[in-house]
C-alpha cells in the first residue's frame, strides 16, 4: 500500500511541475533558514555547559553604589573566594581570575615580541573548578609557584612550534620571566573563557594576598556542593558584609555600613550560574563580550516564522488546487476508498515533498554556512556525523510534512462523492477563507520583519551619526605604548614632527572601548562617607586637544601652570554628581587612596568638559574626571591628511627605529567605536537577510496562487475581454483581492512590530523614535512586492487571446 501511495505521489509531483517547484523551493528555503538559525540558537544556549561541574559553578557578582551611578561588576573583592570556602562547608572549591590586559611575549632567547591579549592571573585551584584537560603538566601543581604559567595548545604552537614547552621560559614585557609548567587544551569557543590562552600563577601577584575588601578586581568562581541551592547560599553574603566588609569600611572611611545605607549607598553580592553568563550578564569587567538572550528569542521566532510561511505556501497551493483533485477524490470514494486511505495518500504526498525539500535544504544550508558564519561571527558546522542530528532532522521532516499536509488531506478527503461527480461541489468558500487567512498571516510576518529591519538600521545610523562629544575620525590608535619604555615621550615628539600628524596624546583610557579605572571622591569639607565613585583617567596635556573635547567652563591642562599636577578636569555629569550647582572652577575634590589622613589627595578643578559618550549609547553618560599622569597604554594620533597609508608607513618606520623587535599594532578610532555595536550590526544584517527570505518565500506562494486564480478564471477573463474589458481592468480585477489581504496584514502587523521594536530600543539610553512613516514605508513595500508578484500572472492572463480561452472550454 505504501509503495502505491509513493508511486501516485511521485506522479502527481511530476504532473504538476510548476506547483511542485514552488512548494519544494519555498519549503527548502524555509527549512534551510530554520536549520541555520537553530544551529546558531543551540550554540548560544550551549555556552559553558561542557564543564563537569557546570550546574554547580557560580560567579560572584557585585552591585556597588557609592555616591555615583550604580556599578554592576563581574568581579568581587580580593579575599572573597577563599573566605567563603573557609567559612562555609557548602563551598566545595573556589578560584579567582585577574585579567591583566595585553603583554608583549617572547621566548627568552628571541628578540621578536608577540602581543598576547587577555593575559590572566589564575589561582592554583583553577583546574579544580574548570575541567579543562591538561595536554602536558600536572593541573594540581601547575600554578602553585610564583613566576609560572600555563598556556593553551594554541599558544604553545605559536611560541614553541613542535617543541615541548614544559620547563621553558617566556619573557613578558621584556622583563618578567615565567616558566611554562603546563599546557592546557584550547578552551572551546562556546565558553566565556574561550579567549584565555595564557594563565599566570596568582602567587606571582602580591596584591592577590591582600585583605582588601574594598578592592573589586578578581573574577571569583565557586563550586557549590551537591544539593546546595544558590538562592539559599546567597543569604550568607549578609554575614560576609557584617563580619568582613563592615570593619574594612569602618577603618577606611570611619563610617559603618548603616551609615552608607542611610546615604543611599550599598554593596551587594549575588551569584550567577556560569551557564547563564553568556546570555544574561552585561557587567563591567566581563572576561568576554557576552550576547543577549533577547536576540536568541528574536532569531528563534524568526526561524519559526520562516518555517510557518513555507508550510503556509504548501497549504495554500494544495487547497487552491482542490477543485482539480475533487474528481479524483470522488472517483476513489465511488470505487470504495475509505476516507482514511485518502488522508494517507495526501499525507504521503506531503511527506514526500517535505523530505525532498529537506534534502535540498541541507545542500542550501551547507553551501550557505560560510556566509552565515561570517554574518553571525560564529564557527558553526552542520553536524552530519551526529546520529541525534539525523534523528531530529527526520522528526522535523515528518512534522513539517504532517503540519503542511494535514489540513489539505482532511479538507480534500472530506469532499462529498455525489456533489463532486455531479460537478456541484461548493468547497471554495471554506478553502478560500483558509487561504485568505494564511496569506494574511504570511504577509503579516513579512511586514513585521520589514518594520524591524527599518527600525534597527535607523538606530544603527543614529549611533553612527550622533554627535558623541569627541572626534573619532582620522584618529589612529597605536597599542603597546609601554613597549617604547622610557622613549614614550620621545616617540610622541618625533611623531609630531611628521607633517601628516596634527596632534598626539598618550593614555590607557580612550572614549572608545579601552581600559577603565575609577576612584572615589568627595568635595572638600564634606564627610568621607558621602564620597562618590566615578571614572578617573590619567591623561597628558594634549588629550583634550587631540580628541576635540569641548571645554565649557575653565580651561584645559596647560604646561604654563605647574600647579596642574594637582589639577582636575571633570565632565558635566561629574559636576552634577559632586553637587557644584554654582561655578565649579577652583573647587577642591578629595580622593580616598587609603585609611590614613596622609593618603588623601586634594585636586583642584580647572576645567569642565562637555559630556561625551565614553560608553555604549545603551547607557547614560556617567561622571568622568581626568588628572595629569603617566599612562603609557595607547598612543592616539590625529591625522591631517587623506593619504592614510603614507602616514601609516612613516609612523611604522619611526616605531621600528625606536622600538625594534616590538609589534606595531594599530587601529582607527572609528573602527573601535563601531566594534561596540558589532552585535547590533550583526542583528541588522541577519534581519535583512531573513526578511528578504520571508518575502521571497511568501511571494512564491502568492505567485502560485495568482497563477491558479488566473487559470481558474480563464473563461471569465475571456468573456470580460469580449465584452470590452481592458487589460488594466483585468489586472485590477485579479489583483484587488490579494491587495486587500496585504492591507489587512499591514494593519495587524504594525502594532505588533511597534511593540517588539519599542522593547528592543528600550535597551538604549539614546535612541530613535519609531515614527509613523516607518509603517507607511513598510506597508508600501509590502503592497509593491505583492502587486509586482500578482501582476505578472494577471498581465499574462489579461494578454491571452479570448478566442483561445473560450475555445478551451
Give the tens place of pLDDT for each residue, 169-211: 999 888 889 999 999 999 999 999 999 999 999 988 766 566 7
Contact 223, 91 (CB under 8 A): yes
Q: Is the pLDDT of residue 543 over 90?
A: yes
pLDDT of residue 135: 93
Q: Which residue has the cell 564627610?
A: 527
Most confident of 81-90, 414-423, 739-748: 81-90
pLDDT score for 578: 86
Report whether 755 contacts 452 (CB < 8 A).
no
Instruction: Decide which of 569 and 790 is more confident.
Output: 569
Residue 91: the pLDDT is: 95
What CA–CA distance (Å, rounded) separates 694 from 302? 9
More confident residue, 575 or 798: 575
> Given a cut of 70, is residue 384 above it in pLDDT?
yes
Residue tagged 535612541 (cell numbers):
767
Helix axis angle for 678-712 and 727-761, nearest 10°, is 150
Residue % of the chain over a pLDDT of 70:
84
Q: What is the pLDDT of residue 150?
A: 96
- For residue 771, the tally of other CB atoms under 10 A from its CB is 11
Q: Which of 164-168, 280-284, 644-648 has the lowest mean pLDDT?
A: 644-648
Q: Which residues does 340 contact at the CB level (< 8 Å), separation at least 6?
A: none
Mark 186-215 as b/e (b = at least 16 C-beta within 10 Å). bbeebbbbbebbbbbbbbbbeebeeeebbe
Question: Which runs of consecutive H residues, i.e. helices, occur in 221-263?
Answer: 230-233, 236-240, 246-253, 257-262
The pLDDT of residue 374? 86
pLDDT band at 108 (very low <50, low <70, confident <90, very high): confident
Q: How confident is the model at residue 809 (pLDDT cuts 50, 70, 90)?
A: very low
Residue 407's CB: how many other CB atoms inside 10 A?
Answer: 19
- Confidence tier at 270 by pLDDT (50, 70, 90): very high
- The pLDDT, as a whole number, for residue 256 is 80
Q: Is the pLDDT of residue 574 over 70?
A: yes
3-state secondary structure at position 499: coil
- Residue 766 scores a pLDDT above 50: yes
Distances (CA, A) of 475 to 25, 430, 545, 642: 49, 66, 12, 12
Rounded to two decimals, what is the model's pTM? 0.81
Q: What mean pLDDT comes out for the span 484-495?
A: 86
- Give the mean model confidence (pLDDT) for residues 149-173: 92
pLDDT of residue 92: 95
Q: What pLDDT score does 277 carry?
A: 95
Inform me whether the pLDDT recorded for 117 exceeds 60.
Answer: yes
Distance CA 195, CA 201 (A): 17
Distance CA 304, CA 294 (A): 16
> 223 φ, ψ to 5°?
-110, 115
What 8-state DSSP symbol labels residue 508? S
Categorize the per-residue pLDDT at 125 as very low, low, confident or very high, splitting at 50, 70 and 90: very high
Cell 556560569 found at = 274
Give percent above pLDDT 90 in the chain.
30
Asked whether residue 413 carries a pLDDT value surpassing 70, the answer given is no
Q: How far apart are CA 149 and CA 151, in angstroms?
A: 7
* Interatomic CA distance for residues 510 and 475, integer angstroms: 11
User: Average pLDDT, stretch 580-606?
Assistant: 80
Residue 10 scores a pLDDT above 50: yes
Higher-pLDDT residue of 526 and 756 is 756
- The CA-atom distances, in angstroms, between 700 and each of 48, 282, 697 are 41, 42, 5
691-738 pLDDT per residue, tens:
888 888 877 777 777 766 666 666 676 777 666 777 667 777 777 778
All cell numbers assigned to 465: 551619526
Residue 428 has pLDDT above 60, yes or no: no
Residue 89: CB atoms within 10 A of its CB come to: 9
pLDDT band for 427, please (50, 70, 90 cuts): very low
Mean pLDDT of 36-57: 93
DSSP string, 268-329: EEEEEEHHHHHHH---BT-SS----HHHHHHHHHHHHHHHHHHHHHHHHHHHHTHHHHHHHH
Question: What was the pLDDT predicted at 538?
Answer: 92
Of 321 and 573, which is predicted with more confidence? 573
Q: What is the mean pLDDT of the chain?
A: 83
The span from the CA of 346 to the CA of 599, in Å, is: 85
- Is the separation of the CB atoms in 240 and 100 below 8 Å? no
478 versus 220: the higher-pLDDT residue is: 220
- Looking only at the bridges linking them, the beta strands covering 532-539 and 624-628 are parallel
State pLDDT tens for residues 460-472. 888 878 888 888 8
CA 397 from centre of chain:
30
- How far does Cα 113 stand from its chain's mean position? 33
User: In terms of Cα–Cα distance, which of 132, 787, 35, 738 is closest to 369?
Assistant: 35
57 pairs with which residues across the strands?
A: 223
| Rounded Cα distance, 384 and 365, in Å | 12
**What is the reported pLDDT for 294?**
83
Whether residue 777 is predicted with pLDDT greater than 60 in this model: the reply is: yes
Query: Taking Cα atoms as reference points, which of 473, 472, 492 lies closest to residue 484?
Result: 492
Q: Residue 151's CB: how many other CB atoms inside 10 A?
A: 29
Could you tell me which residue, 575 or 804, shows the higher pLDDT?
575
CA–CA–CA angle 190, 192, 196 (5° rounding):
100
Q: Which grid cell sits at 419? A: 456533489
Amino acid at each position: 500500500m505504501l509503495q502505491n501511495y509513493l508511486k501516485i505521489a511521485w506522479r502527481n509531483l511530476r504532473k504538476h511541475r510548476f506547483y511542485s517547484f514552488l512548494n519544494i523551493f519555498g519549503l527548502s528555503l524555509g527549512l534551510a533558514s530554520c536549520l541555520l538559525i537553530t544551529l546558531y540558537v543551540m550554540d548560544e544556549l550551549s555556552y559553558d555547559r561542557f564543564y563537569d561541574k557546570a550546574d554547580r559553578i557560580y560567579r560572584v557578582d557585585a552591585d556597588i553604589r557609592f555616591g555615583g551611578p550604580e556599578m554592576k561588576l563581574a568581579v568581587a573583592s580580593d579575599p572573597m573566594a577563599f573566605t567563603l570556602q573557609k567559612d562555609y562547608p557548602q563551598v566545595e572549591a573556589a578560584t579567582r581570575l585577574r585579567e591583566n590586559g595585553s603583554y608583549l611575549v617572547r621566548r627568552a632567547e628571541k628578540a621578536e615580541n608577540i602581543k598576547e591579549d587577555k593575559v590572566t592571573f589564575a589561582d592554583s585551584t583553577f583546574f579544580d573548578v574548570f575541567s579543562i584537560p591538561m595536554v602536558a603538566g600536572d593541573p594540581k601543581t601547575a600554578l602553585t609557584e610564583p613566576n609560572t604559567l600555563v598556556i593553551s595548545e594554541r599558544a604553545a604552537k605559536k611560541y614553541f612550534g613542535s617543541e615541548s614547552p614544559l620547563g621553558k621560559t617566556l619573557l613578558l614585557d621584556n622583563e618578567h620571566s615565567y616558566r611554562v609548567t603546563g599546557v592546557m587544551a584550547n578552551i572551546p569557543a562556546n565558553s566565556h573563557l574561550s579567549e584565555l590562552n595564557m594563565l599566570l600563577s596568582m602567587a606571582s601577584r602580591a596584591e592577590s594576598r591582600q585583605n582588601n575588601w574594598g578592592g573589586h578586581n578578581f573574577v571569583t568562581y565557586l563550586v557549590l556542593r551537591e544539593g546546595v541551592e544558590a538562592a539559599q547560599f546567597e543569604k550568607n553574603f549578609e554575614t560576609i558584609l557584617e563580619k568582613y566588609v563592615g570593619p574594612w569600611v569602618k577603618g577606611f572611611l570611619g563610617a559603618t555600613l548603616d551609615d552608607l545605607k542611610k546615604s543611599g549607598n550599598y554593596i551587594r553580592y549575588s551569584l550567577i550560574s556560569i551557564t547563564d553568563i553568556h546570555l544574561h550578564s552585561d557587567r563591567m569587567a566581563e572576561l568576554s563580550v557576552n550576547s543577549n538572550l533577547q536576540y536568541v528569542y528574536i532569531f528563534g521566532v524568526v526561524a519559526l516564522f520562516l518555517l510557518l510561511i513555507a508550510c503556509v505556501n504548501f497549504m495554500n497551493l494544495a487547497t487552491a488546487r482542490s477543485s482539480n483533485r475533487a474528481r479524483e477524490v470522488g472517483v476513489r470514494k465511488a470505487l470504495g476508498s475509505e476516507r482514511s486511505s485518502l488522508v494517507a495518500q495526501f499525507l504521503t504526498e506531503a511527506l514526500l515533498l517535505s523530505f525532498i525539500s529537506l534534502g535540498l535544504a541541507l545542500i542550501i544550508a551547507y553551501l550557505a554556512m560560510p556566509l552565515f558564519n561570517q554574518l553571525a561571527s560564529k564557527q558553526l558546522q552542520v553536524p552530519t556525523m551526529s546520529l541525534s542530528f539525523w534523528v531530529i532532522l527526520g522528526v522535523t521532516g515528518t512534522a513539517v510534512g504532517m503540519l503542511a499536509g494535514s489540513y489539505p488531506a482532511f479538507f480534500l478527503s472530506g469532499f462529498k462523492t455525489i456533489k463532486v461527480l455531479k460537478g456541484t461541489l461548493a468547497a471554495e468558500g471554506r478553502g478560500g477563507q483558509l487561504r485568505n487567512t494564511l496569506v494574511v498571516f504570511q504577509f503579516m510576518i513579512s511586514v513585521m520583519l520589514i518594520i524591524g529591519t527599518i527600525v534597527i538600521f535607523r538606530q544603527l545610523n543614529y549611533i553612527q551619526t550622533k554627535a558623541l562629544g569627541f572626534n573619532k575620525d582620522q584618529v589612529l590608535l597605536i597599542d603597546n605604548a609601554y613597549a617604547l619604555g622610557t622613549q614614550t615621550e620621545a616617540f610622541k615628539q618625533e611623531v609630531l614632527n611628521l607633517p601628516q600628524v596634527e596632534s598626539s596624546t598618550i593614555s590607557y583610557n580612550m572614549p572608545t572601548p579601552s581600559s577603565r579605572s575609577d576612584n572615589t571622591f568627595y568635595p572638600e569639607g564634606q564627610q568621607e562617607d558621602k564620597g562618590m565613585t566615578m571614572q578617573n583617567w590619567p591623561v597628558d596635556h594634549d588629550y583634550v586637544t587631540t580628541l576635540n573635547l569641548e571645554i565649557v567652563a575653565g580651561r584645559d591642562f596647560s604646561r604654563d601652570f605647574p600647579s596642574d599636577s594637582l589639577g582636575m578636569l571633570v565632565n558635566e555629569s561629574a559636576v552634577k554628581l559632586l553637587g557644584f550647582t554654582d561655578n565649579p572652577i577652583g573647587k577642591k575634590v578629595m580622593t580616598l587612596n587609603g585609611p590614613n589622613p596622609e593618603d588623601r589627595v586634594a585636586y583642584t578643578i580647572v576645567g569642565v568638559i562637555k559630556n561625551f559618550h565614553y560608553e555604549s549609547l545603551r547607557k547614560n553618560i556617567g561622571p568622568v574626571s581626568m588628572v595629569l599622569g603617566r599612562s603609557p597604554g595607547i598612543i592616539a594620533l590625529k591625522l591631517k591628511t587623506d593619504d592614510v597609508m603614507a602616514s601609516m608607513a612613516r609612523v611604522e618606520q619611526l616605531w621600528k627605529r625606536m622600538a625594534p623587535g616590538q609589534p606595531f599594532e594599530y587601529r582607527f578610532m572609528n573602527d573601535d567605536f563601531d566594534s561596540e555595536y558589532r552585535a547590533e550590526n550583526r542583528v541588522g544584517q541577519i534581519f535583512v537577510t531573513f526578511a528578504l527570505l520571508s518575502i521571497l518565500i511568501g511571494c512564491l506562494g502568492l505567485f502560485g496562487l495568482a497563477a491558479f486564480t488566473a487559470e481558474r478564471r480563464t473563461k471569465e477573463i475571456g468573456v470580460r475581454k469580449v465584452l470590452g474589458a481592458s487589460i488594466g481592468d483585468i489586472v485590477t480585477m485579479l489583483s484587488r483581492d490579494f491587495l486587500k489581504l496585504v492591507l489587512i496584514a499591514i494593519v495587524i502587523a504594525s502594532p505588533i512590530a511597534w511593540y517588539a521594536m519599542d522593547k528592543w530600543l528600550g535597551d538604549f539610553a539614546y535612541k530613535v523614535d519609531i515614527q509613523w512613516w516607518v509603517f507607511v514605508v513598510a506597508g508600501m513595500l509590502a503592497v509593491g512586492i505583492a502587486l509586482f508578484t500578482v501582476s505578472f500572472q494577471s498581465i499574462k492572463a489579461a494578454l491571452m487571446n479570448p478566442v483561445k480561452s473560450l475555445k478551451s472550454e
